[in-house]
Protein backbone atom coordinates (compact mmCIF):
# COMPACT_ATOMS: atom_id res chain seq x y z
CA UNK A 1 0.00 0.00 0.00
CA UNK A 2 1.18 3.52 -0.83
CA UNK A 3 2.19 5.47 2.26
CA UNK A 4 0.16 8.50 1.20
CA UNK A 5 -3.04 6.48 0.87
CA UNK A 6 -2.83 5.23 4.45
CA UNK A 7 -5.19 6.86 6.96
CA UNK A 8 -3.94 9.26 9.59
CA UNK A 9 -4.13 7.77 13.06
CA UNK A 10 -2.44 10.63 14.89
CA UNK A 11 -2.28 14.17 13.64
CA UNK A 12 -0.62 16.81 15.80
CA UNK A 13 -0.49 20.44 14.70
CA UNK A 14 1.50 23.17 16.46
CA UNK A 15 1.03 21.61 19.86
CA UNK A 16 2.37 23.33 22.96
CA UNK A 17 2.30 22.24 26.57
CA UNK A 18 3.28 24.49 29.45
CA UNK A 19 3.59 23.27 33.02
CA UNK A 20 3.15 25.89 35.70
CA UNK A 21 4.65 25.14 39.10
CA UNK A 22 4.41 28.08 41.50
CA UNK A 23 5.98 31.04 39.70
CA UNK A 24 7.81 28.92 37.18
CA UNK A 25 6.36 28.10 33.82
CA UNK A 26 8.05 25.49 31.67
CA UNK A 27 7.29 24.84 28.04
CA UNK A 28 7.58 21.05 27.84
CA UNK A 29 6.31 20.93 24.23
CA UNK A 30 7.02 23.76 21.84
CA UNK A 31 5.25 23.95 18.47
CA UNK A 32 5.25 20.21 17.77
CA UNK A 33 3.66 18.92 14.57
CA UNK A 34 3.71 15.41 13.10
CA UNK A 35 1.46 12.75 11.64
CA UNK A 36 1.40 9.01 12.22
CA UNK A 37 -0.42 6.83 9.70
CA UNK A 38 -1.94 3.39 10.19
CA UNK A 39 0.63 0.62 10.32
CA UNK A 40 3.55 2.80 11.37
CA UNK A 41 6.00 1.83 14.10
CA UNK A 42 7.50 5.06 15.39
CA UNK A 43 10.27 5.42 17.94
CA UNK A 44 10.40 8.64 19.95
CA UNK A 45 13.88 9.46 21.18
CA UNK A 46 15.55 12.33 22.97
CA UNK A 47 17.37 13.23 26.17
CA UNK A 48 15.69 13.04 29.56
CA UNK A 49 13.39 16.04 30.05
CA UNK A 50 12.92 16.67 26.32
CA UNK A 51 9.14 16.19 26.49
CA UNK A 52 8.72 12.57 25.37
CA UNK A 53 6.44 11.46 28.22
CA UNK A 54 4.48 14.70 28.03
CA UNK A 55 3.91 13.93 24.35
CA UNK A 56 2.86 10.33 25.05
CA UNK A 57 0.42 11.37 27.78
CA UNK A 58 -1.24 13.80 25.42
CA UNK A 59 -1.33 11.21 22.61
CA UNK A 60 -2.99 8.79 25.04
CA UNK A 61 -5.55 11.38 26.18
CA UNK A 62 -4.19 11.07 29.73
CA UNK A 63 -3.21 14.73 29.63
CA UNK A 64 -4.49 17.67 27.67
CA UNK A 65 -3.28 20.94 26.22
CA UNK A 66 -5.27 23.78 24.77
CA UNK A 67 -2.58 25.12 22.43
CA UNK A 68 -2.50 23.41 19.05
CA UNK A 69 -4.54 20.60 17.63
CA UNK A 70 -4.69 16.85 18.18
CA UNK A 71 -6.73 14.67 15.85
CA UNK A 72 -7.05 10.98 16.62
CA UNK A 73 -8.30 8.94 13.66
CA UNK A 74 -9.51 12.17 12.11
CA UNK A 75 -11.48 13.31 15.17
CA UNK A 76 -10.46 16.47 16.99
CA UNK A 77 -9.92 15.56 20.65
CA UNK A 78 -11.31 18.97 21.68
CA UNK A 79 -14.70 17.94 20.32
CA UNK A 80 -15.05 14.87 22.54
CA UNK A 81 -16.79 14.76 25.92
CA UNK A 82 -15.42 12.85 28.94
CA UNK A 83 -17.33 9.66 28.14
CA UNK A 84 -16.07 9.60 24.57
CA UNK A 85 -12.50 10.20 25.76
CA UNK A 86 -12.79 7.42 28.32
CA UNK A 87 -14.06 5.11 25.60
CA UNK A 88 -11.07 5.92 23.37
CA UNK A 89 -8.59 5.45 26.23
CA UNK A 90 -10.17 2.17 27.14
CA UNK A 91 -10.77 0.56 23.74
CA UNK A 92 -8.74 2.17 21.01
CA UNK A 93 -5.43 2.79 22.77
CA UNK A 94 -3.26 0.29 24.59
CA UNK A 95 -0.71 1.70 27.06
CA UNK A 96 2.54 0.17 28.15
CA UNK A 97 4.67 1.90 30.78
CA UNK A 98 8.24 1.40 31.93
CA UNK A 99 7.04 0.49 35.43
CA UNK A 100 4.49 -2.12 34.23
CA UNK A 101 1.74 -0.70 36.52
CA UNK A 102 0.33 -4.11 37.42
CA UNK A 103 -1.77 -4.44 40.58
CA UNK A 104 0.24 -6.62 43.01
CA UNK A 105 -2.69 -8.39 44.64
CA UNK A 106 -4.25 -9.55 41.40
CA UNK A 107 -3.29 -12.64 39.43
CA UNK A 108 -1.88 -12.14 35.95
CA UNK A 109 -5.19 -12.90 34.24
CA UNK A 110 -7.08 -10.60 36.63
CA UNK A 111 -4.69 -7.76 35.81
CA UNK A 112 -5.11 -8.40 32.11
CA UNK A 113 -8.90 -8.54 32.40
CA UNK A 114 -9.10 -5.16 34.19
CA UNK A 115 -9.71 -3.03 31.07
CA UNK A 116 -12.74 -5.23 30.32
CA UNK A 117 -14.43 -4.68 33.67
CA UNK A 118 -16.64 -1.83 32.46
CA UNK A 119 -17.32 -3.39 29.08
CA UNK A 120 -20.40 -5.35 30.09
CA UNK A 121 -18.67 -8.60 29.16
CA UNK A 122 -19.36 -11.50 31.54
CA UNK A 123 -16.63 -12.63 33.93
CA UNK A 124 -16.10 -16.03 32.35
CA UNK A 125 -15.65 -14.41 28.96
CA UNK A 126 -13.35 -11.73 30.41
CA UNK A 127 -11.20 -14.50 31.82
CA UNK A 128 -11.20 -16.30 28.49
CA UNK A 129 -10.09 -13.12 26.70
CA UNK A 130 -7.40 -12.42 29.31
CA UNK A 131 -6.03 -15.95 29.06
CA UNK A 132 -5.94 -15.68 25.28
CA UNK A 133 -4.06 -12.37 25.52
CA UNK A 134 -1.59 -13.93 27.97
CA UNK A 135 -1.09 -16.90 25.63
CA UNK A 136 -0.43 -14.41 22.86
CA UNK A 137 2.56 -13.02 24.75
CA UNK A 138 3.85 -16.45 25.78
CA UNK A 139 2.46 -16.42 29.34
CA UNK A 140 -0.17 -19.13 28.99
CA UNK A 141 1.50 -21.06 31.82
CA UNK A 142 1.51 -18.07 34.19
CA UNK A 143 -2.12 -16.98 34.25
CA UNK A 144 -2.54 -17.48 38.03
CA UNK A 145 0.79 -15.93 39.02
CA UNK A 146 0.88 -12.62 40.85
CA UNK A 147 3.24 -9.88 39.62
CA UNK A 148 5.86 -10.63 42.31
CA UNK A 149 5.95 -14.23 41.09
CA UNK A 150 6.89 -13.10 37.57
CA UNK A 151 10.24 -11.91 36.21
CA UNK A 152 10.59 -8.36 34.92
CA UNK A 153 10.22 -9.48 31.34
CA UNK A 154 7.16 -11.57 32.20
CA UNK A 155 5.61 -8.61 34.03
CA UNK A 156 6.07 -6.41 31.01
CA UNK A 157 4.56 -9.09 28.79
CA UNK A 158 1.57 -9.30 31.17
CA UNK A 159 1.26 -5.51 30.94
CA UNK A 160 1.37 -5.85 27.19
CA UNK A 161 -1.39 -8.48 27.30
CA UNK A 162 -3.45 -6.05 29.39
CA UNK A 163 -2.88 -3.36 26.75
CA UNK A 164 -3.94 -5.78 24.00
CA UNK A 165 -6.97 -7.42 25.57
CA UNK A 166 -9.31 -4.76 24.15
CA UNK A 167 -7.78 -5.16 20.64
CA UNK A 168 -6.68 -1.51 20.38
CA UNK A 169 -5.52 -0.18 17.03
CA UNK A 170 -2.80 1.93 18.64
CA UNK A 171 -0.17 0.96 21.18
CA UNK A 172 1.55 3.75 23.07
CA UNK A 173 4.60 2.59 24.99
CA UNK A 174 6.76 4.86 27.17
CA UNK A 175 10.18 3.21 27.57
CA UNK A 176 8.62 -0.27 27.78
CA UNK A 177 11.99 -1.99 27.89
CA UNK A 178 13.66 0.53 30.21
CA UNK A 179 13.59 -1.82 33.21
CA UNK A 180 14.39 -5.05 31.38
CA UNK A 181 17.47 -7.18 30.81
CA UNK A 182 18.52 -7.60 27.20
CA UNK A 183 16.83 -10.98 26.71
CA UNK A 184 13.46 -9.72 27.99
CA UNK A 185 13.95 -6.55 25.99
CA UNK A 186 14.26 -8.64 22.86
CA UNK A 187 11.15 -10.69 23.71
CA UNK A 188 9.06 -7.57 24.21
CA UNK A 189 10.40 -6.00 21.04
CA UNK A 190 9.57 -9.17 19.08
CA UNK A 191 5.97 -8.98 20.29
CA UNK A 192 5.76 -5.33 19.25
CA UNK A 193 7.09 -6.18 15.81
CA UNK A 194 4.59 -9.02 15.38
CA UNK A 195 1.74 -6.73 16.42
CA UNK A 196 2.90 -4.10 13.98
CA UNK A 197 3.03 -6.71 11.22
CA UNK A 198 -0.63 -7.46 12.01
CA UNK A 199 -1.43 -3.79 11.43
CA UNK A 200 -1.31 -2.28 14.92
CA UNK A 201 0.11 1.25 14.91
CA UNK A 202 2.83 1.67 17.53
CA UNK A 203 4.48 4.74 19.04
CA UNK A 204 7.25 3.85 21.47
CA UNK A 205 9.63 5.98 23.50
CA UNK A 206 13.06 4.43 23.81
CA UNK A 207 16.57 5.43 24.85
CA UNK A 208 18.30 2.72 22.90
CA UNK A 209 19.48 3.06 19.33
CA UNK A 210 19.42 -0.73 19.02
CA UNK A 211 15.70 -0.78 19.74
CA UNK A 212 14.86 2.26 17.65
CA UNK A 213 16.57 0.65 14.67
CA UNK A 214 13.77 -2.00 14.63
CA UNK A 215 11.13 0.70 14.13
CA UNK A 216 10.04 2.16 10.81
CA UNK A 217 10.73 5.76 11.74
CA UNK A 218 12.48 7.74 14.47
CA UNK A 219 11.25 11.10 15.75
CA UNK A 220 13.69 13.01 17.95
CA UNK A 221 12.86 15.61 20.58
CA UNK A 222 15.09 18.16 22.27
CA UNK A 223 13.95 20.87 24.71
CA UNK A 224 10.31 20.25 23.82
CA UNK A 225 10.88 20.56 20.10
CA UNK A 226 10.73 17.95 17.37
CA UNK A 227 14.22 18.29 15.90
CA UNK A 228 14.47 15.30 13.57
CA UNK A 229 12.12 12.92 11.77
CA UNK A 230 13.95 10.05 10.12
CA UNK A 231 12.77 7.12 8.00
CA UNK A 232 14.28 3.70 8.80
CA UNK A 233 12.10 1.37 6.73
CA UNK A 234 12.25 3.07 3.34
CA UNK A 235 10.11 0.38 1.72
CA UNK A 236 7.15 1.24 3.96
CA UNK A 237 7.28 4.93 3.07
CA UNK A 238 7.62 4.32 -0.66
CA UNK A 239 5.01 6.20 -2.64
CA UNK A 240 4.91 4.79 -6.11
| Residue numbers at the binding site for Mg ion (CB under 5 A) | 52-53
CA angle 60, 44, 61 (to 5 degrees): 10
> Sign of dihedral through CA atoms 5, 10, 11, 12?
negative
User: Residue 50's binding partner, choosing from ligand ADP, Mg ion, none, with beta-carbon cut-off 5 to 8 A by kind?
Assistant: ligand ADP
With CB cut-offs between 5 and 8 Å by kind, which of Mg ion, ligand ADP, none does residue 1 bind? Answer: none
- In whole angstroms, how close is the CB of 204 to Mg ion at the nearest point? 12
Choose between 50 and 156: whose C-beta lies nearer to ligand ADP: 50
Nearer to ligand ADP by C-beta: 52 or 126? 52
d(CA 60, CA 58): 5
- For the chain, how far is it from start to end, CA to CA, in angstroms? 9
Range list of H helices, the chain: 52-59, 82-87, 108-113, 123-136, 152-164, 182-197, 209-212
For the chain, how many helices (H) and strands (E)? 7, 10
51 versus 115: smaller Cβ distance to ligand ADP: 51
Of 5-13, 46-54, 65-73, 86-94, the segment contacting ligand ADP by CB under 6 A is 46-54
> Quick check: 113 and 126 in contact, CB under 8 A?
yes
Q: Which of residues 4-23 bind ligand ADP (CB under 6 A)?
A: 19, 21
How many angstroms separate the CA atoms of 164 and 85, rounded? 18
Residue closer to Mg ion by CB (options 55, 164) is 55
Give the CA distances from residue 222 to residues 50, 52, 237, in Å, rounded to whole numbers and listed in that order: 5, 9, 25
206 binds ligand ADP (CB under 6 A): no
Closest distance between ligand ADP and the C-beta of residue 62, in Å? 11
The residue among 46 and 115 lying less far from ligand ADP, judged by its C-beta, is: 46
**Among 11, 15, 37, 52, contact with ligand ADP (rule: CB under 6 A):** 52
Residues that bind ligand ADP (CB under 6 A): 19, 21, 26, 28, 46, 48-54
Amino acid sequence: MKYSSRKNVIEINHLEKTYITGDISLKALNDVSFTVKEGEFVAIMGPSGSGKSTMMNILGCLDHTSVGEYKLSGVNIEDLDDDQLAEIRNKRIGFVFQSFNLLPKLKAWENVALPLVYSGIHLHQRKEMAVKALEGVGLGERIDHRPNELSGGQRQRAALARALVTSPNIILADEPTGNLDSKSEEEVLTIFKELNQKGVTIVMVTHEDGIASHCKRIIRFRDGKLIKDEVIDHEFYRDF
